[in-house]
Structure 1
């Protein structure tokens, strides 16, 4: 999957979600994979967007709360990457993301982060609806176990469901970023 101008979208890799009471499945491995994607994106001079989910005042992930920041271990470079906030599962809803992508000439959007069944799923679908080519990085997203399904099953299910009709599907080792 190469040749189309691309960017990397990292969803909700935040202190409170990652280090909360329920731990993400293979969290440290996923963080390492995402950091590798950031390094690849930087080397290819493609845009990196990192978004924080921002809850209402008083919520555990309200802006400025201890749980709200991006993980300090995430290799975001404030001098070149774009960090922004969202209040809904979609990083496109009421944010400038689509405009930034169009302005940069981005067609292919590689998607990684948390949580698989919520924001990862939503952003794959919305990106397609907006005319972008979403590509889910199959080994770069995670979530927590639920009472009905293990996180491992949720990730596998979403890779199978989203890959094809809603998004491309690729392992991180095969990601090929292309500058616009």
Structure 2
């Protein structure tokens, strides 16, 4: 069974993006909207992942406005929300057990951010034995600074993380391919 796993598509991500001149993927919102529509049209279960930060000052703290889901990612009735406070959606959440109870064997993952929660969750999903598909153009990364102070731009950061995940932990595809995959039953 194919299960759709959108990760941390919350308002705080946009708030943060505004402070660092954006993220790597201007088509993120449009691609996310298409993926939700495709999953729902095909009747695939969607398990929404939501980050509840424990860091003081985080935009994703439960009491912060940025903790809310973005409009295009709001769960519909019957779509469970899995809340986490660390990068992996599998740590302390019961996600693995829920997926096994559902009979899930194939996960389609997208969301924010490529370098943090998406990467960590995808790696764990693969290590736990789930066939994992990552929708690369429905994820995004932010710029990063190396230990020697060099800046890695957001697009390069995103591409490097996708390259590290592809074939080792997931099959990285684009939104068009994911929509076709979902329509075909996975």
TM-score, structure 1 as length reference: 0.89
**2:102, 2:35 → 1: CA distance?**
19
Q: Give runs of aligned pairs for residues 70-85 of structure 1, distance below 5 A.
A: 70-71=69-70, 73-85=71-83
Distance in structure 2 (CA, Å) of the matches to 1:136 and 1:14: 19
Q: Which runs of 5+ in 2 are unaligned?
A: 146-150
1:179 to partner: Cα distance: 5.5
Q: Give the SS at the match of 1:52.
A: strand
CA distance in 2, matches of 1:18, 1:65: 13
Give the superposition deviation at 1:57: 6.8
Aligned length: 174
Is the CA contact (8 Å cut-off) linking 2:3 and 2:107 kept in structure 1? yes
Give the gaps of 5 or more residues in structure 1.
Answer: none
Residue 84 of structure 1 and its aligned partner are, at CA, apart by 2.4
Q: 1:95 aligns with which of 83, 93, 96?
A: 93
Q: Whose helix proportion is higher, 1 or 2?
A: 2
**Per-residue deviation, 1:79:** 0.7
Alpha-carbon distance, 1:36 to partner: 0.5
Query: Aligned partners of 1:31 and 1:62: how far apart in 2?
Result: 22
Deviations 1:38-97 (A, max 9, x none): 1100011111122121112743222121111111x2243421322221111000100021
Change (3 A) 1:57 1:152: closer
Cross-structure match for 1:66: 65
